[in-house]
Amino acid sequence: MLPIHEQFYTFQGEGAHAGRAAYFIRTFGCPVHCPWCDSAGTWHPDYIPKRIARLEPATLAAEVAQTQAEFTVITGGEPAIHDLSALTDALHAVGQQTHLETSGAFPIRGAFDWITLSPKRWKLPLAENVARANEFKLIIDRPGAISEYVDVLRERGAELSADNIVWLHPEWSQHSNPEVLNAITEWIKCHGAPYRAGWQLHKNYAADCMDQRSVPAAPLGGDPEQGF
């Protein structure tokens, strides 16, 4: 049984698989606590729902099998705090590829076809997970965050080559901040591959909201002094 915050059918709005039909399973729980988290209902006491569903992997896989999803994304919160082996097995049994979105700070348990690793300064990734990642997603909340996270990945042995794309995503509360956007632009112009500008396309489309099971976002707004 896994604690599930939400599950919904949409398209992937980020990374190398952007624009493809995807089923999202968002697990409950996260010890990382990013101050700008837009899925705060998975951990923040002000947003945690009154009831947390606990579901069998086979039940989740059966829901996915009723859609035309090309793959299933397991995200959070921080999904890797859970043993996801039974879930990935159940999804593979119904013909689904399995994608993981993780901070990389906890051992990954489960068979994944694609891993997106997004390092967070509040709990840095394990070297073993950096080595397994297919792509990296850096959340840029201030201009200096780019070099900060690139240094973290290099210290943990990342091969920053064209085969491991590094997406530079403006943190959503900063997505109109010219300092952040210009820093991303200049970094890409100066360095080229593997760096690419990222965006959250699903937010422009409001794609997730079209599935009524999707929980409204609860963004914390990027204030590290809120005390959590």
Q: Please state which CATH class domain 2-136+201-222 belongs to.
A: alpha beta
Q: 146 exposed, middle or buried (CB, 10 Å; 0-12, 13-18, 19+)?
A: buried
Distances (CA, A) of 147 to 14, 140, 170: 21, 10, 14
The secondary structure of residue 73, as a DSSP letter, is: E
The H or E element spanning position 168 is strand 165-170
Side chain identity at residue 93, one-letter code: A
Tell me how far apart the alpha carbons of residues 52 and 43 are, in angstroms, rounded to a whole number.
11
Encoding tokens for residue 122?
């509040």
Structure confidence at residue 38 (pLDDT): 87
Tell me how far apart the alpha carbons of residues 52 and 48 are, in angstroms, rounded to a whole number.
9
Structure confidence at residue 191 (pLDDT): 96
Task: Give CA torsion, residues 188, 137, 130, 103, to 10 deg.
Answer: 150
The alpha-carbon radius of gyration of the chain (Å, integer) is: 17
- Residue 50 in contact with residue 23, Cβ under 8 Å? no
Residue by residue, pLDDT tens for the chain (228 residues) are: 999 999 999 999 999 999 999 999 999 999 999 999 989 999 999 899 999 999 999 999 999 999 999 999 999 999 999 999 999 999 999 999 999 999 999 999 999 999 999 999 999 999 999 999 999 999 999 999 999 999 999 999 998 877 889 999 999 989 999 999 999 999 999 999 999 999 999 989 999 989 999 988 776 766 555 544
